[in-house]
C-alpha cells in the first residue's frame, strides 16, 4: 500500500471532518478568551451618587463624562438607600458626599468581584483628588479571605458545567451517537438528574465545609449546583440528539468558549467588551456565577432571573431530547452511528 492509501485507511473522511472541527473550536477558544479578558476596561458601571441637591447634578455630569465612560451614575436619595441597592445588586457601588467635610465615602462590594471594587475605588480617588477631596472605601459585602479575588464562585460553576457536559457526552456516545428511543432518553435523563444532585452537593461540600472558600447557604449552593449541572447536561444531550457527535462540540462552543469568558468570573460584566457582556447573563456559566455570588455575599438577592435562565436551558434541553427520541423510527435506530470508540476506526 502507498503512503496515501495508509493515510486513507488510518483517517476516514468523517474523522478528518471532526479533526477540522476540533481545530476550529481550539481557535475559537483562544479568540474568545483573549478577546474578552486580555484588556478589561470598565464601561458604564451602575453607580449611585448621594450628594447635596445643589451639587448633585454637576457631580453626576462630571462622573458621566469621565474619559472612557467607566461609570453610569444615577442619583440616590440617601446612604441607606445606596447600601440597600448595592446589596440588592442593582448598582455596583456608590459615592456618599460629605456636605460638611472633605472626606467622602465610596461604597463597594468585593464579593461581587474584587476587580470591580478596586476599579471603583481607584476611579473615585482620582476624581476626588482633582476636587481637593479625599475618599475612604467601605466594603459592604467583602469577599472571604479564602476567596482570592472573589473568583471561587466562578470556578465552582465552571466545575459544575464541565461535569454536566462530560457526563451527558458519555451517556450519549456510550451506545451510539443519538438516543435510540424514548426509554433510553428517559434513562439518560434520570441518570443525568441523579448525577446533577450528587455533583451539586459535592461541589458545595468542597467549596464550603472542606475548603472554606465560599460562605453562604450550603443547601442553596447545592441546589444551584444541581440545576447548573442538569441544565448543561440536558443541553448537551439535546444537541447530541439533533446533530450526533457534533453536539459535543456545539456544547463546548456554547458553554466553554462563549460561556466561560463572558460569565463575569475573572472580571465582572461591566469590565468586559460589549459582546461578552451581552451574552454572559444568558448562558449557564454567567447565570450560575451570578447566583453563587448572590448566595455567598448578597443574602441570596437578585437570583430570580439567573435561575430562570438555568431552568430554561434545562427545560428546553429536556424537551428537545424527548421530542427527538419520540420521532425516531426503528429504522433510525438500526442506522444510528456506532459508538464513539469506533468512529475513527471504521
User: How does pLDDT run across 277-326, given as a tens digit for each residue?
Assistant: 999 999 999 999 999 999 999 999 999 999 999 999 999 999 999 999 88
User: Which domain range does residue 127 map to?
Assistant: 45-139
User: How does pLDDT run across 112-134, given as a tens digit for each residue?
Assistant: 999 999 999 999 999 999 999 99
Query: Which DSSP letter does residue 298 get?
Result: S
Q: Do 179 and 218 belong to one domain?
A: yes
Give the count of domains, the chain.
2
Instruction: Tell whether 206 is covered by a domain.
Output: yes
Q: Do 135 and 207 belong to one domain?
A: no
Q: C-alpha dihedral over 215, 220, 224, 229, to 10 degrees?
A: 90
Instruction: Tell whether 17 is covered by a domain.
Output: no
CA dist list (Å): 342 to 16, 177, 232, 330: 14, 11, 26, 22
Examine the fold and report which residue of 139, 170, 189 is the final residue of a domain before the chain moves on. Answer: 139
Examine the fold and report which residue of 124, 139, 154 is the final residue of a domain before the chain moves on. Answer: 139
Q: Do 135 and 150 belong to one domain?
A: no
Q: Do 95 and 231 belong to one domain?
A: no
Instruction: Tell whether 20 is covered by a domain.
Output: no
Examine the fold and report which residue of 139, 162, 197 is the final residue of a domain before the chain moves on. Answer: 139
Q: Do 135 and 169 belong to one domain?
A: no
Diameter over CA atoms, the chain? 91
Q: In which residue ranges of the chain is pLDDT below 50?
A: 333-334, 339-346
Amino acid at each position: 500500500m502507498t503512503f496515501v492509501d495508509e493515510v486513507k485507511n488510518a483517517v476516514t473522511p468523517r474523522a478528518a471532518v471532526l479533526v477540522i472541527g476540533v481545530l476550529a473550536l481550539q481557535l475559537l477558544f483562544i479568540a474568545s478568551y483573549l478577546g474578552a479578558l486580555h484588556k478589561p476596561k470598565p464601561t458604564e458601571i451602575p453607580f449611585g451618587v448621594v450628594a447635596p441637591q445643589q451639587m448633585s447634578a454637576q457631580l453626576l455630569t462630571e462622573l458621566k463624562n469621565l474619559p472612557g465612560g467607566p461609570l453610569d451614575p444615577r442619583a440616590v436619595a440617601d446612604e441607606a438607600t445606596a447600601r440597600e441597592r448595592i446589596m440588592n445588586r442593582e448598582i455596583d457601588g456608590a459615592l456618599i458626599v460629605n456636605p460638611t467635610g472633605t472626606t467622602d465615602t465610596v461604597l463597594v462590594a468585593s464579593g461581587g468581584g474584587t476587580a470591580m471594587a478596586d476599579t471603583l475605588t481607584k476611579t473615585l480617588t482620582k476624581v476626588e483628588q482633582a476636587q481637593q477631596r479625599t475618599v475612604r472605601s467601605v466594603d459592604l459585602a467583602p469577599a472571604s479571605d479564602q476567596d482570592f479575588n472573589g473568583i471561587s464562585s466562578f470556578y465552582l460553576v465552571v466545575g459544575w458545567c464541565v461535569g454536566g457536559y462530560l457526563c451527558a457526552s458519555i451517556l450519549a456516545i456510550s451506545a451510539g451517537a443519538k438516543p435510540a428511543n424514548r426509554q433510553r432518553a428517559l434513562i439518560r435523563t434520570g441518570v443525568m438528574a441523579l448525577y446533577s444532585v450528587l455533583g451539586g452537593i459535592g461541589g458545595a461540600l468542597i467549596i464550603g465545609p472542606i475548603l472554606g472558600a465560599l460562605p453562604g447557604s450550603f443547601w442553596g449552593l447545592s441546589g444551584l449546583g444541581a440545576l447548573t449541572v442538569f441544565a448543561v447536561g440536558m443541553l448537551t444531550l439535546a444537541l447530541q440528539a439533533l446533530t450526533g457527535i457534533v453536539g459535543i462540540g456545539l456544547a463546548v462552543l456554547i458553554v466553554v468558549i462563549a460561556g466561560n469568558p463572558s460569565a463575569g468570573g475573572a472580571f465582572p460584566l461591566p469590565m468586559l467588551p460589549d459582546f461578552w457582556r451581552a451574552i454572559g447573563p444568558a448562558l449557564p456559566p454567567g447565570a450560575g456565577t451570578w447566583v453563587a455570588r448572590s448566595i455567598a455575599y448578597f443574602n441570596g438577592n437578585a437570583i430570580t432571573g439567573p435561575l430562570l435562565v438555568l431552568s430554561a436551558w434545562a427545560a428546553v434541553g429536556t424537551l428537545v431530547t424527548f421530542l427527538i427520541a419520540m420521532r425516531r423510527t426503528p429504522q433510525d435506530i438500526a442506522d444510528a452511528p456506532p459508538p464513539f470508540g469506533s468512529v475513527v476506526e471504521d
